[in-house]
Amino acid sequence: MPYKLYYWDGIPGRGEFVRLALEEAGADYVDVARDPDGQEGGTTAMLKLLMDGEGANIPFAPPFLKDGDLLIPHVANILFYLGPKIGLAPEEEGLRFVANGLQLTITDFVAEIHDTHHPIGVSLYYEDQKPEALRRSSDFLSERLPKFLGYFERVLRQNPKGQNPKAQNPKGRGHIVGDRLSYVDLSLFQLVEGLRYAFPKAMRSYEASIPGLIALHDAVAERPNIRSYLASDRRLSFNEAGIFRHYPELDQPS
């Protein structure tokens, strides 16, 4: 039975971190809201599950994954669950918690990226919070972006197993946890993609400081399953309804 991924149609958003793992693994899955022949009920089915007034274990928000009877919400939780099943988690159990810790730092970073354009409230439009967004983005680019990306760069450099020659891909690039590709590497790829879209000026000035992350990004982009996914119409473009939004007025060199 295929995994069923429930997420909003029209934006890559948080769902994309899960899609990348499913695509890299070649897993059998249905993207319910984007289901072409509508057998799964699309967005209506997703909303029905969320609003279910009797069901047990209802999620707070998309994305969530359905595997049989089990409903699993939150990106990091979905990836923790899926990782070992689809060969994208470390073999060693302790390292799985390390991977989850890294994914949760990505989760926090993604929330802060979202809040650059929504510092006051998700129920308001960007247009209703522009001065605050400008102030928050400025703090984000000067303080938080270097702090988070610098951290990931450091973990990548200090991962003793990531430098294992046997585990390196042909270009000598490492992995952030353990000695092989994990879902965390794929999420870091997506972070770089999203930040380049949202803050091109900031990223142009900052990327020289994070050579390991950029090399990892490039190595992920070259993987056969990822390359064919990126070229397919299953890969959605970034846009101004998602998490990573490009508002030129918020972007400045980091």
Q: Are 230 and 221 in contact (CB under 8 A)?
A: yes
Whole-number minimum distance, CB 132 to a second copy, in Å?
Answer: 5
Assess 14 for contact with a second copy (CB under 8 A): no
Residues 42-71 that bind a second copy (CB under 8 A): 53-60, 64, 69-71
User: At residue 184, what is the residue type?
Assistant: V
For a second copy, which is the closer residue by CB, 47 or 104? 104
Residues 161-200 that bind a second copy (CB under 8 A): 161, 177
Tell me how crowded residue 207 is: count the other CB atoms within 10 A of its CB.
Answer: 17
Residues 76-115 that bind a second copy (CB under 8 A): 76-77, 80-81, 94-95, 97-98, 100-101, 104-105, 107-108, 111, 115
Interface residues with a second copy (CB under 8 A)?
A: 53-60, 64, 69-74, 76-77, 80-81, 94-95, 97-98, 100-101, 104-105, 107-108, 111, 115, 119-124, 132, 135-136, 139-140, 143-144, 148, 151, 154-155, 158-161, 177
